[in-house]
Amino acid sequence: MQRGVASTDGIPTTDKAKVVVLMDLDALVGDVRGTGTTLTGDVLSPGVVRRLACDAEIIPMVLGADSEPLDVGRGRRLFTRGQRLALIARDRGCTYPGCTVPPTWCDAHHVVPWHRGGLTCLDNGALLCQRHHTVVHERDLRATVTAAGVTWHT
Ligand SMILES: [Zn+2]
Ligand SMILES: [Zn+2]
């Protein structure tokens, strides 16, 4: 999964990744163990799947008991270009404590994950570099977002 095409000012204008992952809904939503499988057969942990899904166009594919696709559709909305610019103005880079990675290399993270009902709005967004985006998802870290910025609870 590589970065998507960025415009000349470095603001990503396209989905960073298109993700088609087959995973039990219980494993994605809950905290039970499980793995995802990409179309090329790579096995991914739930944490990795959640990170990829956080800032990508996700294509939900709900499988029935016999693994036949029951429903394939568009998922949630991505952060818009305007929202990303506002996040950059507020966060100025990765929001993880002590990190100095600039905003053009950051993902827009959903503090409350979309699969738990989190909205795509500034109050639920936080810029994170890829390394800390991984940390936040693997440890399921929570954050408080105010107009002044993001505070992580580690
Ligand atoms: Zn995220
Ligand atoms: Zn960082």
pLDDT score of 90 more than 90: yes
- Ligand located closest to 107 CA: 1
Q: What is the pTM of this model?
A: 0.61
Name the residue ranges covered by the structural domains of the chain.
18-72, 81-153
Region 54-67 average pLDDT: 58
The rounded Å distance from CA 100 to ligand 2 centre is 7
- Ligand located closest to 128 CA: 2
Residue 103: phi, psi to the nearest 5? -65, -30
The rounded Å distance from CA 64 to ligand 1 centre is 27
Region 118-123 average pLDDT: 84
Residues 150/122, Cβ–Cβ less than 8 Å: no
The rounded Å distance from CA 72 to ligand 1 centre is 23
Q: Report the 10 Å Cβ neighbour count for 136.
A: 25
Top pLDDT among 130 and 58 is at 130
- Ligand located closest to 116 CA: 1
Residues 122/86, Cβ–Cβ less than 8 Å: yes
